Amino acid sequence: MVSENDTRVKAFILSGVTTDHNVELALFGFFTIIYTLILVGNILIVITIIYDHHLHTPMYFFLSNLSFIDVCHSSVVMPKMIADFLSKTKTISFEECIAQMFFLHLFACTEIFLLTIMAYDRYAAICNPLQYTSIMSNQVCLRLSVAMWLGGLLHSIALTTLTLNVPYCGPNDIDNFFCDVPLVIKLACADTYIFEILIVSNSGVISVVCFVVLVISYVVILISLRNRFSEGRRKALSTCAAHLTVVTFFLGHCIFIYLRPAKSLAADKVVSIFFTAVTPLLNPVIYTLRNEDMLNALNKLRGRQVDFEGKGH
C-alpha cells in the first residue's frame, strides 16, 4: 500500500449527472422521491416478513435480505448524488471516495450472490418439492446467508486494496456522480493495465458466471414447469419472471461496467442510475404489487395497526 505522502490527491471532483442547473433542480426533487420510495418500500417488506409468521420461509427470508441490501446499496450513492444536485462544485474527499467504493462493492457483490442463491431456492422448490424442506432448512439458509456476506466482503476488500496500492497525484476529475474502482484507478499516476485486468477478472467474471448460472437455473425451471397444473405453473412463472427482471437489470449493469477496459462511455451514467436507483425500487414494486402473499400480509399488518390505533383512542 502506498504511504500517505505519496497520495497527493486529497479530493476528487465528480462530474455529476448533468451540468444544467435547472435540470439538476428537477432531478433533486425526482430522486428525493425515488430514494424515499426505496427506503419506505424495502423497509416495509422487511417489517412485513418479520411480522407475518406465514412468510417465515426460505424464499421470504432471502427476500428480506434483498430488501435490506437494496436499502444499504442505494444509501451508499443516492444521498450524495441528491445533495450534489444543489452544489455547484461536486467534491468528495479521498477517504469518502474509498469508503463509497468499499461499501458499493460490498453490497453489490453480496446482492449478486444473493440473487444466485434465490435462483437455487426457486429451483429446489419447483424441481424438488418433496425434498425442499431438507434442502433449504433453516441451518442451510443461515449458512448461505453468512457465505454470501463473507464473499461480498472479501471481494470488496480485494478491490479496495487494489485501488489503494497505486499513487494518485492528479488529475482528480471523475466522470460520474459516484466513485467506482474503474473510474478511480484510471486516475492513478502509474501503469494500471495489470490492475484493470484484475478488476475485469474479479468483478466481471463474478457477474458473468453468476448470470450464466442464473439463466441455466431458470431454463431448467421452465422445462420442469411444462407438466405442472396451470395455476401452480402460473404462480411459479410469475415469481421467476419477477426475479429474472431484477437479475437482468442488476447484473446487466455489472457486466457492462466491469467486463471492459476502464474508460468512460456516454451510456455509463444512465446505466449507473438504473443500478443505484431503479433496481432497488423494482424490489418493493415487483415483490409486493405482484405477490398475493405479500399483499395479504401487508393488509393484515395494516389491519392490526388500525385496531391498535382504535384501542388507543
CA nearest neighbour of 187 among 169, 208, 205, 202: 169
- How do residues 177-199 score in pLDDT, each as one tens digit? 999 888 898 888 888 778 778 77
- Taken in order of first residue, the domains within the chain and their CATH numbers are 4-312 (1.20.1070.10)
From CA 24, how far away is CA 205, in angstroms rounded?
35
- The pTM of the full predicted model, rounded to 2 decimals, is 0.85
Tell me the sheet residues that pair with 174: 14
Question: What distance lies between CA 198 and its chain's CA centroid?
Answer: 22
Grid coordinates given for 72: 444499504
How far is the C-alpha of 7 from the C-alpha of 200, rounded, in Å? 24
Angle, alpha carbons 219-271-32 (nearest 5°): 115
Which residues are CB-neighbours of 192 under 8 A, at least 6 positions away? 166, 185, 186, 262
Kindly tell me the burial class for residue 76, based on how many C-beta atoms sit within 10 Å of its own C-beta (0-12, 13-18, 19 or more): buried
- Residues 195-252 have pLDDT tens digits of 778 777 777 778 888 888 888 888 888 777 776 656 566 666 766 777 777 777 777 7
Distance, in Å, from the CA atom of 7 to the CA atom of 105, rounded to the nearest integer, reads 22
Report helix, strand or coil for 80. Answer: helix
Bridge partners for 12 per DSSP: 92
Q: pLDDT in tens for each of the 313 residues of the chain?
A: 444 444 478 899 998 888 888 999 999 999 999 999 999 999 999 998 898 888 889 989 999 999 999 999 999 999 999 999 998 889 999 999 999 999 999 999 999 899 899 888 988 888 888 899 899 999 999 999 999 999 999 999 999 998 888 888 878 899 889 998 888 988 888 887 787 787 777 777 788 888 888 888 888 887 777 766 565 666 667 667 777 777 777 777 777 777 666 566 667 788 888 888 888 888 788 777 667 777 777 777 776 554 444 455 5
